[in-house]
Amino acid sequence: MFKRFQKLSSPRIIALGFALLILLGSILLYLPCSVKEGVDLHYIDALYTSTSAVCVTGLIAVDAGDTFTPLGQFFLALLIQIGGLGLTAVGAGIILAMRKKMNIKGRTLIKEALNLDTGRGLMSFVRDIFITTMIFELLGACFSFLVFIRDFPLGKAIGLSLFHSVAAFNNSGFDILGNYQNLTAYQNDILLNIVTAVLIFFGGIGFLVIRELWTSKCRWKLLSMHSKVVLSVSAILILVGTLLLKMTEDITWLGAFFHSVSARTAGFSSYPIGSFSNAGLFAVIILMFIGASPGSTGGGIKTSTFFVLIQGIKSAATNKSEKAFRYAIPKKAFKKASVITILALSIVMTATYLLLCIEPDITFMDALFEMTSAFGTVGLSTGITPELCPAAKILSMLIMYTGRIGPLTVITLWHFTDGENVKYPDGNLAIG
């Protein structure tokens, strides 16, 4: 059996690892010691919660604060942490801690899981990931504690702060405040909103960009093309999202900014999403679909994919080469970005159709919002998630899983070859 496992391709190992972690997490959350006394938790809801946590989504079938004991909430935070970092990175960290050497198969697996172009300095990069995560989450917990200590006893405030920081940095919109309230009670708290937004932002730009910002001392000229694209697109999306939400919704500038940041894959909400207008929901859907950046804890088609698509369209319209920041964009980048986007659109549209078939009473906008949120591993919802039937929850779990491991990875699970040996002559085909 072990030999068979070694023969599996890297995408299949990654997909299998996430599936096994989800199954293990559901068992841990379903244990009597994880569920509060008097709460009747169905296994499908434990499985749904585990899937949402491992896929760092935040969609909830049951409220984590009202359902799980402190031990259950610890299991939930652990699943979020492992899901955010990735199983391969966690495995590599354990090997580092044990001072063991990693073989070529393991290095290749980590390289593909973290979307790295080279395996050079791989283990030092993994070490940096753990150090970066610890620093951000501890700082986030400290600042969050200053807010929660005003409303809760010391022990409860510490637990809330740690959980919230882990969830925010890993772009997972879980909360343990109870009563499905998320952060609505703190919609006007500037400190908690800014701290949460900062954690979401840095968790969403990717560890590679964070390391470059640190080594270059935030000097723009020293950053790579990848980092410049990620930071530029992220800033523009946050700005545009803030303006669109402020134009369409009766919320403060702080609320518009927070939801613009959160919609990009975090899933925290300081205002009830169900009260948003169709225009506001559509703006959030676009942000959720684009998502975070490669090598981050977030989902979506990714900011770099969106950037390459825009540059490709611009190049076709102007008949000029694709370039940015004095670099030429790789020729294969537009093809890959187009494939990812088409696959993502197909998955979201198909999932929305199936959800409408399963739950005919749900409106189209609510169904589209729910499935886009699941695919983008965001966690925002108009409030329909707890009321979904088991079949609809299974559909949502499959979409979250697909969004976390990536549509291209899902495709390669079924068919993967090294290429074709036969070439055919180009045919004539009218386009446009």
Q: How many helices (H) and strands (E) does the chain have?
A: 19, 2
What lies within 8 Å, CB to CB, of 13 at 6+ separation is 5, 109
Q: What is the pTM of this model?
A: 0.89
Which residues are CB-contacts of 320 (< 8 A; sequence separation ≥ 6)?
A: 314
- Residue whose tokens read 């022990």: 155
Helix axes 190-205, 154-169, angle to 10 degrees: 40
- Given a contact cutoff of 8 angstroms between Cβ atoms, the answer to whether 262 and 269 are in contact is yes
Per residue in 97-133, is it b (16+ CB within 10 Å) or e — as a string? Answer: eeeeebeeebbebbbbbbbbeeeeebbebbebbbebb
Residues in the chain: 432
pLDDT tens, position by position, for the chain (432 residues)?
445 545 666 677 778 888 899 999 999 999 999 999 989 999 999 999 999 999 988 899 999 999 999 999 999 999 999 888 875 566 556 555 555 565 665 666 666 666 666 556 677 777 888 888 899 999 999 999 999 999 999 999 999 999 999 999 998 889 999 888 899 999 999 999 999 999 999 998 988 899 889 888 888 888 888 899 999 999 999 999 999 999 999 999 999 999 999 998 888 999 999 899 999 999 999 999 999 888 777 788 999 999 999 988 888 888 887 778 888 888 788 888 999 999 999 999 999 999 999 999 999 999 999 999 999 999 899 989 999 999 999 999 999 999 888 777 767 666 555 555 666 676 666 666
Q: What would you report as the CA-atom Rg of the chain, rounded to the nearest whole angstrom?
A: 21
Beta partners for residue 323, in sequence order = 328
Q: Give the helix/strand (H/E) hosting 300.
A: none
Can you tell me whether residue 123 is helix, strand or coil? helix
CA distance 32 to 372: 33
Residue of 61, 35, 2 lying closest to 396 (CA atoms): 61
Closest CA to 343 of 369, 305, 378: 305
Q: Do residues 398 and 358 lie in contact, with contact meaning Cβ atoms separated by under 8 Å?
A: no
Q: What is the pLDDT of residue 1?
A: 47
Separation between Cα atoms, residue 167 and residue 190, nearest integer Å: 19
User: Do the beta carbons of residue 268 and residue 168 sit within 8 Å?
Assistant: yes
Return the pLDDT at 415.
56
